[in-house]
């Protein structure tokens, strides 16, 4: 729903200032820090409940405003490069039969891994 509202405001050329994002983020962090703990001694259950529900409302409302602001400022907030989020790795080919036999000179055959056993069977067949 917040995405829809932010997108509609963006399409109607109504821009929300980006400073609202940082202000709302600070408010939500404060609400999370001040969130009451049941383990600490509270004066009464009613006060604990009221404080807890107030913090819940502040967190939900600030999250809603943060999403609206991010979606509304989609032209000014640049996402990080997608290529930076992917990791690359080099897959080693399975060992060949002659490599496995050469390694058995220095170790016991019961120490062969599953990949080595599979590679040995494939190279023989």
Helix/strand/coil for 34: coil
Q: Which two tokens stand for residue 77?
A: 């907030």
Distances in whole angstroms, Cα of residue 73 to Cα of each of 8, 28, 29, 81: 12, 20, 21, 18
Q: Any residues with CB less than 8 A from the CB of 59 and at least 6 apart, and which?
A: 28, 31, 32
Q: At what angle do helices 19-33 and 45-72 cross, to 10 degrees?
A: 160
pLDDT digit string (tens) for 58-92? 999 999 999 999 888 877 766 665 555 556 677 77
Contact 97, 121 (CB under 8 A): no
Domain boundaries, the chain: 2-81, 89-125
CA distance 56 to 64: 12
Residue 93: its pLDDT value, please?
A: 76
Torsion region of 96: left, alpha or beta (phi above 0 gives left; psi -120 to 50 gives alpha)? beta
**88-106 pLDDT, tens per residue?**
677 777 777 788 788 888 8
pTM of the model: 0.56
DSSP code of residue 86? -
Q: pLDDT digit string (tens) for 2-33?
A: 888 888 888 888 888 888 889 999 999 999 99
């Amino acid at each position: 729903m917040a995405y829809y509202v932010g997108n509609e405001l963006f399409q109607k050329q109504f821009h929300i200032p980006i400073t609202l994002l940082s202000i709302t983020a600070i408010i939500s962090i404060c609400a999370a820090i001040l969130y009451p703990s049941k383990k600490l001694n509270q004066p009464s259950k009613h006060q604990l409940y009221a404080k807890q529900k107030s913090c819940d409302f502040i967190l939900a409302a600030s999250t809603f405003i943060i999403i609206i602001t991010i979606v509304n400022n989609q032209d000014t907030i640049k996402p990080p490069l997608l290529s930076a989020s992917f990791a690359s790795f080099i897959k080693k080919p399975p060992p060949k039969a002659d490599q496995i036999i050469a390694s058995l000179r220095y170790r016991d055959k019961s120490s062969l891994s599953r990949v080595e056993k599979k590679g040995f069977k494939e190279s023989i067949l």
